[in-house]
């Protein structure tokens, strides 16, 4: 897969995050329960990933021998979905995603700098830190401009 294809796929995933937040927040309000909306989201996600899993011919062989900390990802995605579903209706999707993005920038820089969890090692240079700062400032400015 080329870098361009990877970038476009991740751009699409990024576009989907606020849409996911808005849709699940609306479902949570309709149901009167962000937790119920989260359960429905994960049932649909399980069905979707199960179909892709079966079609792809992938295997779960080795899952039982994986280090337990690798399964924390499921808890983190549940935390994200439940919190965005609960917070977005009152805080706003834009505000909620703003703080998620800032958290992602910080976390990604730390993971890359130290090569955590088997990630490629990309040191946090002053130039890279400045770029992250500019990105954070840009996200912040979009929120201020939205209120003007």
Which region holds residue 32: left if phi is over 0, alpha if psi is between -120 and 50, else beta? left
Predicted model pTM: 0.81
Instruction: Give pLDDT < 70 ranges for the chain.
Output: 146, 148
Which pLDDT score is estimated for 112?
94
- Which pLDDT score, from 0 to 100, does residue 1 have? 84
Identify the pLDDT of residue 148: 61
Question: Alpha-carbon distance 23 to 81, whole Å?
Answer: 11
| CA 77 to each of CA 5, 121, 125, 137: distance values in angstroms, whole numbers, following the listed order | 24, 24, 29, 26
pLDDT of residue 146: 66
Quote the CA–CA distance of 85 and 125 in Å, as a whole number.
Answer: 35
């Amino acid at each position: 897969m080329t870098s361009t294809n990877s970038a476009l796929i991740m751009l699409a995933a990024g576009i989907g995050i606020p849409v996911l937040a808005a849709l699940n927040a609306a479902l949570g309000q309709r149901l009167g329960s962000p937790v119920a909306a989260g359960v429905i989201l994960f049932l649909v996600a399980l069905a979707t990933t199960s179909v892709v899993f079966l079609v792809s011919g992938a295997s779960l062989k080795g899952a039982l021998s994986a280090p337990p900390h690798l399964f924390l990802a499921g808890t983190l995605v549940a935390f994200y979905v439940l919190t965005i579903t609960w917070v977005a209706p009152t805080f706003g999707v834009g505000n909620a995603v703003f703080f998620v993005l800032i958290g992602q920038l910080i976390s990604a820089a730390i993971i890359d700098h130290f090569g955590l969890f088997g990630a490629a090692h990309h040191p946090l240079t002053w130039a890279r830190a400045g770029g992250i700062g500019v990105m954070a400032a840009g996200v912040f400015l979009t929120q201020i401009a939205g209120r003007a």
